[in-house]
Amino acid sequence: MSLSADETYRLLVSVGNPQHVEQLMRTARDLAGARGGEIVVLSVVVKSRESPFALMTDEVIKRDFSGRRQEIHDRAVEMVSGTDVPVTGEVRVGSDLSKSILRAIDDHDADAALLGWDERPRADFVFGSTVDRVVHRADCDVLVEKIGAEADGVESVLVPTTGSPHATFAAEVAGTIAAANDARVEVVHVVPPGEDVPDVDDLFDETVASVGDAEVRTRVVEHRDVADAIVSLTDEHDVTVVGATRDGPFQRFVFGAIPRVVGTRASGTVIITKRYRDVPSRLSSWVARVTPS
């Protein structure tokens, strides 16, 4: 599917805590702004059966209990003021947070969804039940940003690559963030020590092309553990963008072991990306349209 001139790239940002708005909206502003797109800020009021909300209609809940959600919307709008990025806000009422986010993705025909991860998962979920379910089921590209480790300015962005579609998406996101902040990108490929290094020129060429116009450095790193190598390199960069490393039938493998370890142990800003693989994403289509042949 190609992105025609009258179609708009749409990024849905799910925010439940006003304190998370600034961090997520900076990333959203860079991504949507570079593509001439728009942002939809979603906030969900969860109406469980045990909640006092259970006896109220959705409209009453929105009218009388959406003050915090309005604060989220106001902060989001403020974050993109002075730019050309349109932003709208929506409050939804639902009994299940992940299902409400997934319905909003479909209703808005979102090309990508940005979620925050605050490192408080249940034991049976990797990134928390809501994030895991949305990443597993969303019919769009998904980005998950670690909350709380916000970069104080961006001068360099790290992108580990394997050449997979998810890693290519990570390179596109890294390039967008770098371009918006006049930063450089380092692309790394990790190989086991003592082994012959395969010809990585094609791999790097493809990744660099996905990064775009930002300044790029490429490096092959020898290390016996890929995740450990990436974690150690994150100290040298302000932002790390990691693509999912495996697809699996279980939610535990929705991103893969390496992104999970990097997201958990890295001290800086970490964004984990997963490309929607059923059809070419509009992000890829946009890159294809603007990249000279």
Q: Structurally, what CATH architecture does the domain formed by 7-147 represent?
A: 3-Layer(aba) Sandwich (3.40)
Pairing of strands 239-243, 156-160: parallel
pLDDT value for 26: 92
User: What single-letter amino acid sits at 279?
Assistant: V
Q: Cite the residue boundaries of each domain of the chain with CATH code 3.40.50.620.
A: 7-147, 149-293
pLDDT value for 200: 86
pLDDT value for 67: 59
Cα-based distances in Å from 215 to 60, 210, 280 = 52, 12, 26
Residues (pLDDT < 70) of the chain are 1-6, 47-69, 119-128, 149-152, 198, 246-255, 278-293
pLDDT value for 261: 86
SS3 of 165-224: the string is HHHHHHHHHHHHHHHHHCCEEEEEEEECCCCCCCCCHHHHHHHHHHHCCCEEEEEEEECC
pLDDT value for 33: 93
What is the C-alpha separation between 245 and 162, in angstroms, rounded? 9
- Exposure string for 237-262, b = 16+ CB within 10 A, e = fewer: bbbbbbbbbeeeeebebbbbebbbbb
Joined tokens for residue 254:
């929705």
User: What single-letter amino acid sits at 131?
Assistant: V
Q: Catalogue the E-assigned strands of 15-111.
A: 38-46, 87-94
* Cβ 135 vs Cβ 129: under 8 Å: no
User: What single-letter amino acid sits at 189?
Assistant: H
Joined tokens for residue 58:
């959705």
Classify residue 253 by its DSSP letter.
G
> Which residues partner with 243 through β-bridges?
273
The CATH homologous superfamily for domain 149-293 is HUPs (3.40.50.620)
pLDDT value for 165: 87
What is the C-alpha separation between 212 and 235, in angstroms, rounded? 24
Joined tokens for residue 55:
């006896």
